[in-house]
Chain A
């Protein structure tokens, strides 16, 4: 209920547990989300609390997967952009997936959903296109595929665009969840969806693929090959270049950089200084049952060893005194 205090135990992005008290600031909605959302605040900061209520989760287990996708993508983007988080992307602050009503906590989105914007002129339209493509350049650099890029998952902050609602997100290279294009998930899957959004911005709500023939040339040039199979599709930064926008490298950091030293130590310990240990049956060494040993084979006659000497002696005897 609005105005009440909620005590939440959650984990931050590094996985450390925190206990925080929030004030409930009322319901919240973003058109691209299937989860329940409320606004909460603490210490002067406002957050979006996305959760799966107990009754809804009981009816539809898939809601937990959506929340998991949101957290997973948000956490990964948080590590990759730990140095400087881009405003073009929703930002995860914390989560708790182990309670009866699991939740994710995201920094509040300023502004309004793009579909609620009215009177989009060319300039604003271009700003939205550029913002969207920049957001996808950033997600692609982090290896994250949003998976549900539509106008409903875009927010206009007043100065730019923010891509939100990563509830269908995957990582590039993972198997596809739904049938569609062959092969694993690719960052250019989002480019196809972005192409549709861009076209929709230009051609209006009623545009369909069948209308390509009537697309303005500038649109056709911008979206060239976007509808091709993923292997032939351009990347988001290619489209930015087509829009004559300077493309800068995203400020990514390697989330596993801190493990380099440990991996080096491991590799050093595993250097092939010794031949592999001889296989010990059962690895039991001195333990376990001592098997019965077979009886030694019959010994060959040792008499053969004495044959020649015996002959020598016999000869000596014959040569000896008679």
Chain B
């Protein structure tokens, strides 16, 4: 079973982790991330929305993965927006200060709207 499901909406890739990703996870998750990064390059994705609705918590590995996604889109002026973040997930983002780098929106539709407005702005 894949850890990540992806959907494309216009220039935005929606990444939906199917479960919490442990910082003890091994290379399989890294291989899946590499495939997502390749998809971003090949399909000219500009923004990434990460829907964390199925993720109870995450730690340093997931932060590193989200940062890799951010780096891959920000070179082209894109951004990463997170949505449906759990309470513990929000604490992790605050502690690591990644909440200063990425927008956090309550729902997927809010996140997509935020991206769309940002693109128009």
Partners in one complex: no
Interface positions of A (Cβ within 8 A of B): none
Interface positions of B (Cβ within 8 A of A): none
